[in-house]
Amino acid sequence: MNTVLRALMATGLMVVSSQSLAAAFQLAEQNVSGLGRAYAGEASAADDASVVARNPALMSQFQGIQVSAAAMYVEPDVSLQGTSTNNGLPANLLDDDSIAPSAVVPAVFMTGRLNDQWSVGAGVYSQFGLATEFDKDYAAGQLAGDTEIVTINTGVSVAYEIDPQWTLALGLNHVYADAKVVRHLGANPLQAPASTEVVNLEGDDSGYGWNLGLSYQIDTDNRLGFHYRSETDITFDGHFSNQLPASFGGTNGVALPGTLELTLPAMAEISGTHKLTEPMTLHYSVLWTGWNSFQ
């Protein structure tokens, strides 16, 4: 792959990174049960089988077989207001509303108690996802366009109850990722159509990661939890094209094979769940995400 092509592909994914906060790249919606508490205490609250995603050590809190399924509807409200341009165009040409489309985030989990000490579980869910949509003739088309990253995490976990207080769990995760990035020329001095594609990148691949969970049952009303999820390296195999002529380093619409590496960041969470009274429980979490690896 030539240097120009690498640069254009890297630029496309760089824009994905810069827009990630606006379009909810990291997803907390692996269950409905935690929604009412804003997903606080996810590493210590044993609500249902979805503990497989946020701390599989909590599987020891259940007896028999548990099944949990959910579908969360996400309706982002993201808008932009232009304040200045570097080419003399009116700033209001950069105004845009509802650039992040709605989405449904499904999840399904199952856990089972094998004996007094061992529990197993599995789940299919998503922890990272992104989508933004701009009009093809948007003035800043080289920085904004269509972006979509979909990930599907399939995980299996096993938990061992060391004693009535401590439980340790390990998990293995397979992450499938599909990405698409489209950018347009936008306003330009060449009198070329603003909708001219300058980046069209599509690819998919999968990677593996692991997770570790620990829970400490202080007493019947108080529990602490810790969960760590490793980085996952994804190498997208796909194709790249644009509508620029070869004289401008373009492909003139011809799709070329290419690869691009992306690292989904590691995450760690420490949580506490404390039953204060019969109708009142305190949940809290400290969540760390290793965004420095997402480049």
* More confident of the two residues 215 and 76: 215
Average pLDDT over residues 282-286: 97
Superfamily of domain 3-293 in the CATH hierarchy: Outer membrane protein transport protein (OMPP1/FadL/TodX) (2.40.160.60)
State the average pLDDT over residues 75-81.
77
* pLDDT at residue 14 is higher than 50: no
**Confidence (pLDDT) at 24:** 46
Q: What is the pLDDT of residue 260?
A: 78
Determine how many CB atoms are found less than 10 A away from the CB of residue 79: 11
Residue 159 — pLDDT band, cuts 50, 70, 90? Answer: very high
Domain ranges of the chain: 3-293
| Mean pLDDT value across residues 86-93 | 70
- Rounded-to-integer distance, Cα 159 and Cα 121, Å: 8
Instruction: State the pLDDT confidence band at 43, using cuts at 50, 70 and 90.
Output: very high
Q: Report the pLDDT averaged over residues 145-174.
A: 95
Nearest of 122, 121, 123, 111 to residue 63 by alpha carbon: 111
Q: What is the mean pLDDT of residues 175-192?
A: 82
Give the global pTM: 0.82
